[in-house]
Amino acid sequence: MNRLSSVVVAGALALATVGTVAAPAAARPEPAPPVAGTAGPAATAGTAPAIPARSVTARPGGAAPTASTVTPDRSVAVRPAVARGWQVEVLSVRGTGPYRIGARLDRLVAAGRIDWTAPGCAGVVHAGATGEWAGVVLLAFRHGRLVEVGTATAPPRSPAGAAVGMSFAELERIYGPRGALISNDAGDATAYLVRVGARVELFTGHPIRPGVGYFQVGPASYVERNFRQGTAC
């Protein structure tokens, strides 16, 4: 539904391969972050897929990333509740867990909360999460501060109960007058936008089937603007 952003495509691949359908289990204490992780794809605002070869920095001990373009199957991934003690059930405009909008990248790295990073442009750095959130959310930092948390899996859901895999008609029933369908400036993509103060929930389309393929939150100045205008690189 959107011109697929090269960064988000691979991000969606990382999320879409999380697991097969299963009901989420009750929240349990978060497991320790993985010691060594393979560098993953990055994400930007808008719908996903296709990440070109780029410089990616993994945590010490992590495997080197492959430099190839991937076209993923972005079918909705539902997290395996039995295998992992999921705490990520809700993604709000404040973020989720330790990944709070405005959080500093250097502090999250020091706390072992960042698995890999991939530099973008205009001061943006994309990153992968660790622990309960690994493979569930993708992060974007601008000038060292968290400005976007996105997911291609379900859950997490919004506080109102909206999630990836739903139709836009379902979102309209959930949000009523609080949300609205919007188009990008080029007129070739549609998304569902919910404003919460200066921040937004943005549900963008799936490249193969109708409905929501990616759900992201953050400041309107970053998330909404990137969808409407696209990114500079």
CA 23, 172, 200, 8 dihedral sign is positive
pTM for the whole structure:
0.67
pLDDT at site 107: 98
Q: Give the list of residues 6+ apart from residue 117 with CB closer than 8 angstroms, or none.
A: 56, 57, 105, 125, 126, 127, 128
**Partners of 117 in the β-ladder:** 57, 127
Mean pLDDT in each 10-residue stretch from start to end of the chain (233 residues)?
A: 42 43 39 40 40 44 39 42 55 97 98 97 95 96 98 96 97 98 95 98 92 97 96 72
**Residue spans per domain, the chain:** 6-58+66-229
